Chains A and B, each alone.
Chain A
Amino acid sequence: MADPAVRDNPAPQPLSAVVFNRGFRIERIAGPEQDRGRLLDLGFTPGEEISVTRAAPFGDPLIVRLRGALLALRKREAAWIWVA
């Protein structure tokens, strides 16, 4: 909403490529139909704010913050989530 970090990033990029600890807004969800449906159902909906807090020690999965929850998301899955 009033977060300036959200407005500074106009070009959509996949969540797997973003810098950590910065807020982004979800643009759209790509990926296979079923996985896309489940991600949407879990709360990864367009317009929602999301940030990546860290990566697990092997560099994958990513730990993301969404709607007050922490979720582990494989990079493969994060690449389907386009944010700006």
Chain B
Amino acid sequence: MNQPVPAVGPPARALTDPTVCLVGMPNSGKTTLMNALTGGHFHTANYPGVTVTLLRGRSKPEHGVPFNLIDLPGVHSAVAPSPEEELACSVIEGRHREVKPDAFILVVDATQLERHLKFASLVGRQGRPVVIALTMMDLLGRTRQSVDPARLASALAVPVIPVDPRTGRGVQELLTALEQRRGALNGGGTLAEIPADPVAAYERVGDLLRCGNCMTRATEVDAVTARLDNFVLHRYLGLPIFLIVLVSLFAAIFWCAQPFMDLIDAGFGAAGDRVKGMAPDSILLRFLAEGVIGGVGAVAVFFPQIMILFFLMTLLEDSGYLARGAALVDRPLAAMGLHGRSFVPMLSGFACAIPAVFAARAIPARRERLLTIWILPLMSCSARLPVYALLLAALLPARAAWQAGFSLAAIYIASLLIASLVAGLTARFLMSSRPPSLLAMELPAYRVPRWRTILKVTWARSSAYLARAGLPIMVVSAVLWLLANFGHAEKTIVAPAPMESSFAAGLGRALQPALEPMGVDWRVGVGLISAFAAREVFVSSMAIVFHVDSDDEGTQRQGLLAQLRGATFPGTARLIFTPASILGLIVFFFFSLQCFSTVAVVRRELNSWPLAGLQLLFYTGLGYALAVASVQTLRALGVA
């Protein structure tokens, strides 16, 4: 398991080229610079043992100097670091096992020289060549500040190159300076002399800047930022604006993604039919069509949602709004033991728990990040939507469509409230020994979004999602297909086996005693098991176990509903799908962590099987217990 994950892309000769790490504080413009240096050709890379994804790339060939570039996560402070900060610090200090930098590009925000140079001293002390890329020069005018890069360079005794990654200005000079700097004896210049103690360090940075006459301090506040903050953080307007942003995000994730999702769904359906059509009797082709292509389709169908989600989140982050949103909701979230930034993963959780777990990395505090990941399975993800739609249609008469819509809205709101409750209880009773972490979060100046970088980052993050989540979903889907289509008959394994004698049915029957209290039979059990591939698979496997054969989705759904309404326990006239048992199923899907991909991703993010397993057992057990409790209570009250 300790094999390094090979970086995809760079050819073998690249291994001999020097490795240069981009380091800096968050919001310093590192990723935009990375985009400019590599010409947009970067990809995400994972390293074993850490949960952080790094951006890797090569310097553009036309710049002449070949470098391997790595964009490290931004570091606020090396004191009590988050996992992302800890990774960056371990690379900087040369403690990382695989990433060994030969030189550093230090990205420094010109409007925040003191704080950024204090951080720079950590890099300067390492003895490796350092070149400073000075960003945000265009923002200096907003606060009537000035910074003299030449004087700064002589005061620090390292090259200081003003860059504007958006226009590419300074990028060539930066690489040239870096090439010349290699082999320099005192690579860190006077940065290396800045003491480690923060108070002394800030004093020294102040002295260096003053003696070198490098800058004038801001004489006024950033009027653009102040004016926008007057609305965004306004006492009465702030929350409505935040709600509008949230609702727009939701609308984009669900409505704008829908046509693309339908298209992908139809495409994979057609591809599957095509493969099956080549030889209708071949079990292998059916496996390919239904198990493999269908499995890929189950992942791919969420891709539009994920991309839109990542795009909008990156956009909000880049423009400076995301940090404000986090500050706005910090109070209620902190009351539940969470962090202002928890709102991003929680929101993402309404699309899919997997990107949400990734998004939790932005929470700079360990305790709050763990708690956020812990409650994410409760957020009503979009894979539950088709399940709720089917169950609500079976529960409610067709003419009252508004009732179904209303119930669905209630389910969504309830998921948010219950997730908050679980977070609050967990923080209160299980994590009470650990005090809450610091918020102390920077609110960056508002900026016009940098579209190219946003698109590149969106693509890098989305494809990382596909690579990470795709495989588990595919494997689980293929295994479940095999279970549903292979079975025992006269002591040999046969395929295709009729549903009743398949291994899946065997599993369902084995679960019968546990399903009885939920008011359902083994056929629903098969659906529940198959839903561990992805929750929405419940719908299609119910269609299989209840023998609904129709390729057209509309009539399939009507046929399925009719079958479900008429289904009885074998050998009796007792209906399976009664209001009580349907409500029980809704409760089960509400709580249960029926998604092996989420378990796999959480395992990786927290680097802990016990925690991921505990989460699976806790929520699935809770879902089962509450489903049984509600079915039995309803029956006791006289609801069938």
Residues of A within 8 A of B (CB): 32, 34-35, 37-43, 45-46, 48, 53-54, 56-61, 63, 65, 67-74, 76-77
The segment from B61-69, B231-239, B273-281, B393-401 found at the interface with A is: B231-239
| 10 tightest Cβ-Cβ pairs between the two chains A and B | A58-B331, A72-B327, A41-B77, A40-B198, A70-B443, A57-B238, A37-B79, A38-B79, A74-B439, A34-B80
User: 10 A-B residue contacts at CB 8 Å?
Assistant: A38-B76, A39-B440, A41-B198, A43-B114, A46-B199, A56-B238, A69-B112, A69-B115, A70-B443, A74-B334
The answer to whether A45 and B202 touch across the interface, beta carbons within 8 angstroms, is: yes
Q: Tell me the bound Cα distance from A68 to B435 in angstroms.
A: 30
Interface of A is mostly: mixed
Q: List chain A residues, Cβ under 8 A from B198.
A: 37, 40-41, 45
Cβ of B76: which chain A residues have Cβ within 8 Å of it? 38, 42
Distance to closest chain B CB from A1 (angstroms):
10
In the bound complex, how far is the Cα of B233 from the Cα of A82, in angstroms? 25
Q: B547 near A: Cβ within 8 Å?
A: no
B residues near A74, Cβ cutoff 8 Å? 330, 334, 438-439
Residues of B contacting A63 with CB < 8 Å? 229, 233, 327, 443
Q: Is there a chain A Cβ closer than 8 Å to B258's Cβ?
A: no
**In the complex, which range does the number of interface residues on chain B fall in?**
35 or more
Contact of B440 (CB < 8 Å), options: A45, A54, A72: A72
Best-buried of B235, B236, B239, B445 by chain A (most CB within 10 Å):
B235
Complex-state Cα separation, A53 to B518, whole angstroms = 56
Residues of B within 8 A of A53 (CB): 229
Pairwise interchain contact B77-A70, C-beta atoms closer than 8 A: no
Most buried by A among B235, B239, B439, B440: B440
The answer, among A38, A45, A73, A77, for a CB contact under 8 Å with B77, is: A38
Give how many A-B residue pairs fall within 8 Å (CB-CB): 116
Known: A32-B435, A70-B442. A42 touches B143 (CB 8 A): no
- 10 more contacts with CB within 8 A, not counting A48-B202, A70-B445, are A32-B435, A34-B79, A39-B438, A57-B234, A60-B334, A70-B229, A71-B443, A72-B323, A72-B441, A74-B439
A interface footprint on B317-356 (CB within 8 Å = 1, 0 otherwise) = 0000001001110111010000010000000000000000
User: Which residue of B is nearest A48, CB measured?
Assistant: B202
Chain B residue at minimum C-beta to C-beta distance from A75: B331
List the A side residues contacting B233 at CB < 8 Å. 54, 56-57, 63
B58 interfacial by beta-carbon distance below 8 Å: no
Mark each residue of chain B from 223 to 262: 1 if its CB lies under 8 Å from any CB of chain A, else 0. Answer: 0010001000111101100000000000000000000000
**Is B118 a contact partner of A43 (Cβ separation < 8 A)?**
yes
B77 and A67: CB pair below 8 A?
Answer: no
Q: How far is the CA of A67 from the CA of B143 in the complex (A)?
A: 12
